[in-house]
């Protein structure tokens, strides 16, 4: 890290003690900022980096709710509104037992740069709760969502803060949240939430967007190397929304995904993952991934297996943060992997990132590669604002163009700052520059 930034990072550590994920995310971005401060010293004079590292607003609240047996539960809700220099706060809600302030701040911090890279007028935020929707009835999830929104509603709005879904928050949860917002506010404000159902303001392609966008980005990475996905062997960690639609798009473009995973283990199917079987297990029946082998008898399941030890050309981590370690990165490099692109947020540890950047593997960070989800959320906001609905094909074309533009900006920025082919540095600097210019233009606020 540049010595000018060491004191900035030290202050961030002191002000956010115990928040390991957030500090990791800040360190990763600050490690790229040395060349920027050398070229634009005014950013240091006006403490632009310090201002970006401090959220504009942090909201923590109690969420009481009652289960089907009448037992009362208390969860904790969060919304960190990090930066609104480019537009209203935008970022998902995550419902998962692991959620805490550090995780929400890391996600919100990453969202600032990701949203800036899309070129859309949206700021960065994130929120959620330590509530676990797994195993809960629809009625229980509804009661929790209604209680959560009863506090959150006063902090959001289509010109203020527009949440969406994330882990544990899909169309069901967004529907309950939107219904409670409409009930409390007494107005049909479609643009206040994205990821809605198609019949009440949702957008086509939103479900597929993060996974599709990830693969469009990979396609551009390979094209920059005069290559393509045709015939490539791929592995995709996770079996949720991002992973499923990444698998779908890889298959459409001629690649073959041979492995995916969930929290219980890994499945390996040498013939290629059968998508209808996977979708039924994970989206309809909501069962562990090992059930895949009951239908595909030749497939292999390894409980708590390591997907990164499987030989592949393209690796797409799409599960959760810090899932791909230094040891995993070494295995991928040794086995001849040529591209690693992040579908999840910060799924590669610092050691893993360092190894990948020091190798010939093309490495794309999540803030660039998985930006398709929030980009399509912004497209949903456009449709809501104009009372319009676009076709799947039209929206998909716009998504592909956005991902190509993000790819090209990352590559061009990396070249400009003396690090050709370094998508991580390119993404950090390109995202930062847009936000920094806006902050500077608005004065000391």
Q: Which residues are catalytic?
A: 126
What 64-72 contacts at long range (C-beta under 8 Å, 24+ apart), as own/partner pairs, is 64/147, 65/140, 65/143, 65/144, 65/146, 65/147, 66/143, 67/136, 67/140, 67/143, 68/137, 68/139, 68/140
90 annotated binding-site participant: yes
- Alpha carbon 303 to its chain centroid, in Å, reads 26
DSSP β-ladder status, 256-261 and 233-237: parallel
Phi-psi region of 17 (alpha: psi -120 to 50; beta: other; left: phi over 0): beta
Q: Angle between the 392-416 and 101-118 helix axes, to the nearest 10 degrees?
A: 90
Determine the Cα–Cα distance for residues 249 and 151; give it in Å rounded to an integer. Answer: 38
b (16+ CB within 10 A) / e for 8-46: bbeebeeebeebebbbbbbebbbbbbbebbeeeeebbee
Determine the Cα–Cα distance for residues 175 and 237; give it in Å rounded to an integer. Answer: 28
Beta bridge partners of 314: 234, 339
How many CB atoms are located within 10 Å of the residue 7 CB?
10
47 annotated binding-site participant: no
| E strand spans, 219-261 | 233-237, 256-261
Four-CA torsion 408, 410, 415, 418, nearest 10 degrees: 180
Four-CA torsion 435, 81, 133, 341, nearest 10 degrees: 10
| C-alpha distance from residue 415 to each of 169, 412, 429, 436 (Å) | 38, 5, 11, 20
Look up residue 212 and give its two tokens.
């599709």
334 annotated binding-site participant: no
Look up residue 411 and give its two tokens.
């590559």
232 annotated binding-site participant: no
111 annotated binding-site participant: yes
Q: What is the DSSP letter of 88?
A: S
Cβ atoms of 196 and 175 closer than 8 Å: yes
- The DSSP annotation for 130-182 comes to S---TT--HHHHHHHHHHHHHHHGGG-BTTTEEEE-BTTB-HHHHHHHHHHHH
Binding site, by residue number, is 90, 111, 114, 165, 210, 241, 377
Binding site, annotated residues for NAD(+): 210, 241
Binding residues for substrate, as ranges, are: 90, 111, 114, 165, 377
């Amino acid at each position: 890290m540049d010595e000018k930034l060491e004191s900035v990072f030290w202050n961030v550590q002191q002000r956010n003690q115990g928040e390991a994920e957030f500090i990791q995310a800040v360190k990763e971005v600050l490690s790229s900022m040395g060349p920027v401060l050398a070229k634009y010293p005014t950013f240091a004079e006006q403490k632009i980096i310090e201002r970006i590292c401090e959220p504009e607003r942090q909201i923590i609240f109690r969420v009481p709710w009652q289960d089907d047996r009448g037992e009362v539960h208390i969860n904790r809700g969060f919304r960190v509104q990090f930066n609104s220099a480019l537009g209203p706060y935008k970022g998902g809600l995550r419902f998962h037992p692991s959620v805490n302030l550090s995780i929400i701040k890391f996600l919100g911090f990453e969202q600032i740069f990701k949203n800036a890279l899309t070129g859309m007028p949206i700021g960065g935020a994130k929120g959620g709760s330590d509530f676990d929707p797994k195993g809960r009835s629809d009625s229980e999830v509804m009661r929790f969502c209604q209680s959560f929104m009863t506090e959150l509603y006063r902090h959001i709005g289509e010109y203020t803060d527009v949440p969406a879904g994330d882990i544990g928050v899909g169309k069901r949860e967004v529907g309950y949240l939107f219904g409670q917002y409409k009930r409390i506010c007494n107005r049909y404000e479609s643009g206040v939430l994205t990821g809605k159902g198609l019949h009440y303001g949702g957008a086509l392609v939103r479900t597929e967007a993060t996974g599709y966008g990830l693969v469009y980005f990979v396609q551009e990475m390979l094209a920059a190397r005069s290559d393509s996905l045709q015939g490539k062997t791929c592995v995709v960690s996770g079996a949720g929304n991002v992973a499923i639609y990444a698998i779908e798009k890889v298959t459409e473009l001629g690649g073959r995904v041979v492995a995916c995973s969930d929290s219980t283990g890994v499945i390996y199917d040498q013939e290629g993952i059968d998508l209808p079987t996977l979708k039924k297990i994970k989206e309809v029946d909501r069962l562990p991934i090992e059930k895949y082998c009951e239908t595909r008898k030749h497939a292999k399941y390894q409980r708590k297996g390591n997907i990164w030890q499987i030989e592949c050309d393209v690796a797409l981590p799409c599960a959760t943060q810090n899932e791909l370690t230094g040891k995993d990165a070494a295995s991928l490099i040794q086995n001849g992997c040529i591209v690693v692109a992040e579908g999840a947020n910060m799924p590669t540890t610092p050691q893993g990132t360092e190894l990948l950047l020091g190798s010939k593997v093309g490495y794309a960070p999540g803030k660039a590669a998985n930006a398709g989800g929030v980009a399509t959320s912004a497209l949903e906001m456009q449709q809501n604002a104009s009372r319009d609905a676009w076709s799947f094909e039209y929206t998909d074309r716009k998504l592909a163009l956005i991902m190509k533009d993000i790819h090209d900006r990352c590559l061009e920025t990396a070249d400009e700052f003396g690090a050709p082919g370094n998508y991580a540095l390119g993404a950090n600097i390109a995202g930062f520059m847009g936000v920094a210019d806006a902050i500077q233009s608005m004065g000391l606020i």
